[in-house]
Structure 1
Amino acid sequence: MTWHPHITVATVVEDNGRFLFVEEFKAGKHVFNQPAGHLEPNETLAQAALRETLEETAWEVELTGLVGIYLYTAPSNGVTYQRICFAARPVRHRVDSPLDSDIERALWLTRDELLADPARWRSELVPRCLDDYLQGPLHSLDLLRD
């Protein structure tokens, strides 16, 4: 059996104590996640984070730092993901931009609103990335080597 980790990016976007999430329909239920997705060929990690955030939320953002790098094996399918989580600030909402087809909606939640319903987290990485962002430290984007 050949093992292949999946490289993903996610973005914690904060605006006055509220955080940008997406609601997706996965495994028969509606779940919350940070804007996130897979690294595509010929793009940098930063480009992937900006692209995924825009495609899933219609928000242009400015990356402000690195939250952390996470290794996660999904219990549902055994797939291992390496998630590079970025911090960002909102810049512009493109209200007329369509969202990715697997995204139900983009929404702003407080930490308490997210934590109130753990059954709706896409994975335990969702609150972990948020808490790591809030607790710091935020790492420099200069750590990235493209």
Structure 2
Amino acid sequence: MLNPSTAPSPQLFSPLSDELVEAVNLIEQANNWQDKYRQIMLLGKLLPPLAPEFKQADAQVKGCESQAWLYHYTLNGRHFYLADSDARIVKGLIGLLLVACQGKTTEQIQQFDVKQYFDRLGLSGQLSPSRTNGLTALAQAIVAYTQDVGT
């Protein structure tokens, strides 16, 4: 998974839009699970889809119930990711992870605590065990890319 044979152009890896960051703020501010869920789904719609040629088996994140693909690029000591999923809720959860990690340093990403982040957003205990496992797999893949100096 850490070295897909075909990767998107480096120009596609960029900071996230303010709209995505604001969407995460709306999730944090939502008062109940239904509102948070709706906001997560909307967040997923804001992420650009991966082109079909990049939905390769060697870019898939293992451990996700749904299909999810993750790519990484390092620029000036900062890590950038492209990701997609075939499930809308997973794509929204990916968006949450990208907002937390996009453009961060290796140290910042390696110190990222996904459980604490989801506690802060009010999402802990709301996701099914399989979604939680998939989310953990995605977070671990993001961290793993920071340890793979060849990418």
TM range (shorter): 0.3 to 0.5
TM norm structure 1: 0.32
**Higher RCO (C-alpha under 8 Å, 6+ residues apart):** 1
Q: Could you tell me the TM-score, scaled by structure 2's length?
A: 0.32
Question: Which structure: greater strand fraction?
Answer: 1
